[in-house]
Chains A and B, each alone.
Chain A
């Protein structure tokens, strides 16, 4: 199968329309940001996130009453009975997620005050201690006994992870290896509390601010590094065009983030950094071809036509190189789960923007650069600068050795 063979599109002609489109897109994004503000995640804003899964229906009213300044929203599908609790940034450093979880445990699990072990809340060590102290299987107080009970405790935790949460104590006692004696101890001295902690995060004000600075610098410096590399490998014009192209791709991606009201998080920065390196790839492919053609052809050709010709030659590659990554990204987007959903979105938009900017923004910058530096249209072939106007400008490229493009 082959697509885009022997194409002869005039990309150059569309460049101003494309620039306008990009600007409108970014403006739309800006308008969204202006209206809703930037949705800073806790990575940058500081604060705390707690994700809890509940045994029964989520006691929303109770949570709202308990945590007045927190925002509480459903996490995942409704039948997961999970909520994301977000606490705003506090002025002082502190273990806010931990304190919140401890408070909710006190309020929602009154049994915990009796000294019973909460099988939905506690970890392996406490269950091991409980069994080891009661020692229903008469293993003694040797280390091997602790090991024995620890294995069983791990089985109980694994069972819980598999089910999501224990809804009854019988689910816990049906974990592999639990003997009748142990089941007795568990029934007697433990209970299944009302929630399980899926995830808790605290980012203090100081760390948040530092991460913000680090993120901005990482994106800026990597963009400049990319420009520098391409300058060394190609020329200063292409280095500059690449930087403009990367800025374009990042702006387009960020505008999209604003439109979907996505959260600015570390993962998003990771996506942006990858876009910096990846979206430029098809530009490299295209420009590589411009250079190769210049070496091969002796005839002078207007710069616009050189670009257009190279773009047509490499069109199928430009699209396919992104294509394979796009296939993967769509899979991540659809099946990768909540944690990397926005990450996949931003990468997808960034990669598409990279392809789009290769055939629109990069030639626009290159042509503008050429005009400004006064080299006008012709830079093909050695020593050709003096006779710029010799070759008439044509719509279709006219290389000497016309290839089956």
Chain B
């Protein structure tokens, strides 16, 4: 054998070793082939971040700020009204012109387009640039918060990524209780501490009637649970709470499940230094009043303030152990700045994933055996060559997947066996060509040489067309189909190598040109 051939053999051996090592679990990789959601079980979610919430919040805050600044600057307080998410009106009281507020309005002109309506009201509209900044910040904040929550759940290898159109894609392999995880992700967890005015009642109107007249515009009516003496829920109770939110969930340092008086689960929280100061002021100045603990616009409880509290507190509610634990988790990981809407969900339970693997592997094995049988019958000696190339091809595909950390999906399994089928195509092209050359009366060596070189262009073309469509497939697909495209691409590259290079080396070894072989089994 000449040196050239030795080098080629060495290369093949190196490839074989390198990829075999990658495939054996525990040698190079603990889990060489990562299974996709459809095989492992898990959840794929696409959520829309309702960025309008955050924009609205911004407008609301500016609106409140404008009112309080008017009072501070001894101007008459305008009435305000929000028109849409990003626009609000400040209507000066009768007899006052919009011009009186000019000095205040100037401060808003950076962020707002300000104009005066024909009716003499000042219209504030958040500038489009600012809107898109708010939207972008909101989405990245949402991604960050969801990541915190997922990490706290201990999901391994999650994927949480922002997408265009204010969307977030979340992939959670191995999650087997999607309902709970979705709850945890979607809970806005906006915790607020707000003072209660008037007395609570069974319907919103009667509650509002108990609020002093000058406060009526400054309260929101929010629902909570009504309980009887035994602590059982017996309906909805409505509370009037002040619009001003002095302390929020962002002031929390920690939250965890504790046992309440009746051994029921409650959530104990502690405040940050800053939060403790605010909380101390709030409770210290309002001893005797009720303080509502509002979670996502629902009153959890409204205890009476007995004394000043600084940095510790307890949220009571009607929680089960699991609910309390989940709530503590979302409070710890921070609130979402906007609500989420599910656009797409694909969840595969662990048992379906298991069935899929079993069937996919079985079908592939049978297909593989069928392929081997077919080439051996049709090409005899040369068939062995094709089979060797095929086995190496399989090792390379699996090894490449391990190195690239590619994910194996059910269509991906189909993709592997399909590329093996296509790899045989390449062998067919070469072998048929060799047969043809032989029929023309050429020598074995010349036929092999001609067969390979003539088939080369065709093989490249057939691979290129499939590679092009695999690229479109990759671009088009999500999840399982992307996995399919990846295995196809890897397999196609591997098959050029095996069908062309490896198979040639094997021929050259068996039918050494120096021996001047007279016959070839093909």
Chain A residues packing against B (C-beta within 8 Å)? 1-2, 51, 53, 93-95, 97-98, 101-102, 115, 122-126, 129, 133, 157-158, 160-162, 164-165, 196-204, 206-207, 214-215, 218, 221-222, 225-226, 229-230, 233, 266-267, 269-270, 273-274, 276-278, 280-281, 284-285, 288, 292, 313, 316-317, 320-321, 323-325, 327-332, 334-337, 339-340, 343-344, 347, 403-404
In whole angstroms, how far apart are the Cα atoms of A98 and B481 in the complex?
24
A327 touching B421 in the complex, CB below 8 Å, given contacts A53-B351, A93-B342, A157-B350? yes
Chain B residue nearest to A323 (CB atoms) is: B374
B410 contacts partner chain A, Cβ-Cβ < 8 Å: yes
Chain A residue numbers with a CB within 8 Å of B457 are: 288
B5 contacts partner chain A, Cβ-Cβ < 8 Å: no
A335 touching B465 in the complex, CB below 8 Å, given contacts A321-B425, A328-B370? no
Instruction: Check B341 against A94 for contact (C-beta < 8 Å).
Output: yes
A125 to chain B, nearest CB (A): 6
Instruction: Check A198 against B322 for contact (C-beta < 8 Å).
Output: no
Instruction: Check A285 against B472 for contact (C-beta < 8 Å).
Output: no
A269 touching B476 in the complex, CB below 8 Å, given contacts A324-B425, A331-B367, A404-B439? yes
* Residue of A125, A204, A276 touching B344 (CB-CB under 8 A): A204
Instruction: Check B418 against A325 for contact (C-beta < 8 Å).
Output: yes
B176 contacts partner chain A, Cβ-Cβ < 8 Å: yes
In whole angstroms, how far apart are the Cα atoms of A109 and B178 in the complex?
18
Chain A residue numbers with a CB within 8 Å of B131 are: none
B496 to chain A, nearest CB (A): 14
Chain A residue numbers with a CB within 8 Å of B366 are: 331, 334-335
In whole angstroms, how far apart are the Cα atoms of A230 and B341 in the complex?
45
Chain B residue numbers with a CB within 8 Å of A344 are: 414
Chain A residue numbers with a CB within 8 Å of B320 are: 115
Chain B residue numbers with a CB within 8 Å of A95 are: 182, 342, 345
Instruction: Check B343 against A277 for contact (C-beta < 8 Å).
Output: no
Chain B residue numbers with a CB within 8 Å of A164 are: 351
Instruction: Check A201 against B421 for contact (C-beta < 8 Å).
Output: no
Instruction: Check A343 against B472 for contact (C-beta < 8 Å).
Output: no
Instruction: Check A125 against B420 for contact (C-beta < 8 Å).
Output: no
Instruction: Check A404 against B429 for contact (C-beta < 8 Å).
Output: no
In whole angstroms, how far apart are the Cα atoms of A214 and B474 in the complex?
12
Instruction: Check A197 against B349 for contact (C-beta < 8 Å).
Output: yes
What are 14 A-B pairs with beta-carbon distances under 8 A?
A: A93-B48, A98-B342, A129-B322, A222-B469, A267-B411, A284-B461, A320-B378, A324-B428, A327-B421, A328-B368, A328-B371, A329-B367, A334-B366, A337-B363
Q: Which parts of B427-486 form the interface with A (CB within 8 Å)? A: 428-429, 432, 435-436, 439-440, 454, 457-458, 461-462, 464-470, 472-473, 475-478, 480-481, 484
In whole angstroms, how far apart are the Cα atoms of A325 and B417 in the complex?
9
Instruction: Check B175 against A123 for contact (C-beta < 8 Å).
Output: yes
Instruction: Check B469 against A339 for contact (C-beta < 8 Å).
Output: no
Instruction: Check B378 against A1 for contact (C-beta < 8 Å).
Output: yes
A126 touching B177 in the complex, CB below 8 Å, given contacts A98-B345, A317-B432, A328-B370? yes
Chain A residue numbers with a CB within 8 Å of B344 are: 202-204, 207
In whole angstroms, how far apart are the Cα atoms of A230 and B461 in the complex?
8
In whole angstroms, how far apart are the Cα atoms of A45 and B432 in the complex?
47
Instruction: Check B363 against A331 for contact (C-beta < 8 Å).
Output: yes
Instruction: Check A274 against B473 for contact (C-beta < 8 Å).
Output: yes
In whole angstroms, how far apart are the Cα atoms of A327 and B425 in the complex?
12
* Residue of A226, A317, A330 touching B465 (CB-CB under 8 A): A226
A48 to chain B, nearest CB (A): 8
Instruction: Check B177 against A125 for contact (C-beta < 8 Å).
Output: yes
Instruction: Check A325 against B422 for contact (C-beta < 8 Å).
Output: yes
Chain B residue nearest to A335 (CB atoms) is: B363
In whole angstroms, how far apart are the Cα atoms of A102 and B345 in the complex?
15
Instruction: Check B182 against A160 for contact (C-beta < 8 Å).
Output: no
Instruction: Check A281 against B466 for contact (C-beta < 8 Å).
Output: yes
Chain B residue numbers with a CB within 8 Å of A285 are: 429, 458, 462
Chain B residue numbers with a CB within 8 Å of A207 are: 46, 343-344
The interface-forming segment of B56-64, B208-216, B353-361 is B353-361
B234 contacts partner chain A, Cβ-Cβ < 8 Å: no
Instruction: Check A201 against B346 for contact (C-beta < 8 Å).
Output: yes
B424 to chain A, nearest CB (A): 4
B362 contacts partner chain A, Cβ-Cβ < 8 Å: yes
Instruction: Check B342 against A277 for contact (C-beta < 8 Å).
Output: no
Instruction: Check A1 against B377 for contact (C-beta < 8 Å).
Output: yes
B348 contacts partner chain A, Cβ-Cβ < 8 Å: yes
Chain A residue nearest to B425 (CB atoms) is: A321
Chain B residue numbers with a CB within 8 Å of A273 are: 469, 472-473, 476
B453 to chain A, nearest CB (A): 12
A201 touching B345 in the complex, CB below 8 Å, given contacts A1-B378, A324-B424, A335-B363? yes
In whole angstroms, how far apart are the Cα atoms of A122 and B465 in the complex?
47
B287 contacts partner chain A, Cβ-Cβ < 8 Å: no
B173 to chain A, nearest CB (A): 13
Instruction: Check A200 against B417 for contact (C-beta < 8 Å).
Output: no
Chain A residue nearest to B346 (CB atoms) is: A201
* Residue of B180, B348, B351 touching A126 (CB-CB under 8 A): B180
Chain A residue numbers with a CB within 8 Å of B359 are: 335-337
B179 contacts partner chain A, Cβ-Cβ < 8 Å: yes
* Residue of B347, B360, B418 touching A201 (CB-CB under 8 A): B347
Chain A residue nearest to B386 (CB atoms) is: A324
In whole angstroms, how far apart are the Cα atoms of A7 and B457 in the complex?
24
A243 to chain B, nearest CB (A): 12
Top 3 closest pairs, chain A to chain B, by CB: A277-B469, A123-B177, A331-B367
B245 contacts partner chain A, Cβ-Cβ < 8 Å: no
In whole angstroms, how far apart are the Cα atoms of A93 and B50 in the complex?
12
Chain A residue numbers with a CB within 8 Å of B14 are: none
Chain A residue numbers with a CB within 8 Å of B484 are: 270
In whole angstroms, how far apart are the Cα atoms of A270 and B411 in the complex?
9
B325 contacts partner chain A, Cβ-Cβ < 8 Å: yes
Instruction: Check B468 against A125 for contact (C-beta < 8 Å).
Output: no
Chain B residue numbers with a CB within 8 Å of A323 are: 374, 428
Instruction: Check A336 against B363 for contact (C-beta < 8 Å).
Output: yes
* Residue of A202, A225, A320, A336 touching B342 (CB-CB under 8 A): A202
A328 touching B420 in the complex, CB below 8 Å, given contacts A126-B322, A335-B359? yes
B56 to chain A, nearest CB (A): 19
B254 contacts partner chain A, Cβ-Cβ < 8 Å: no
* Residue of B325, B355, B362 touching A335 (CB-CB under 8 A): B362
Determine which residue in A122, A218, A325 has the highest number of CB atoms from chain B within 10 A of its CB, and name it: A325
Determine which residue in B351, B353, B440, B488 has the highest number of CB atoms from chain A within 10 A of its CB, and name it: B351
Chain A residue numbers with a CB within 8 Å of B420 are: 328
Instruction: Check B349 against A198 for contact (C-beta < 8 Å).
Output: yes
Chain A residue numbers with a CB within 8 Å of B177 are: 122-126
Instruction: Check B362 against A229 for contact (C-beta < 8 Å).
Output: no
In whole angstroms, how far apart are the Cα atoms of A205 and B353 in the complex?
27
A277 touching B341 in the complex, CB below 8 Å, given contacts A53-B351, A331-B364, A343-B411? no
Chain B residue nearest to A285 (CB atoms) is: B458
Chain B residue numbers with a CB within 8 Å of A129 are: 321-322, 325
Instruction: Check A343 against B428 for contact (C-beta < 8 Å).
Output: no
Instruction: Check B469 against A316 for contact (C-beta < 8 Å).
Output: no
A45 to chain B, nearest CB (A): 13
In whole angstroms, how far apart are the Cα atoms of A1 and B356 in the complex?
37
Instruction: Check A324 against B341 for contact (C-beta < 8 Å).
Output: no
In whole angstroms, how far apart are the Cα atoms of A200 and B177 in the complex?
11
In whole angstroms, how far apart are the Cα atoms of A101 and B180 in the complex?
12
In whole angstroms, how far apart are the Cα atoms of A298 and B342 in the complex?
68
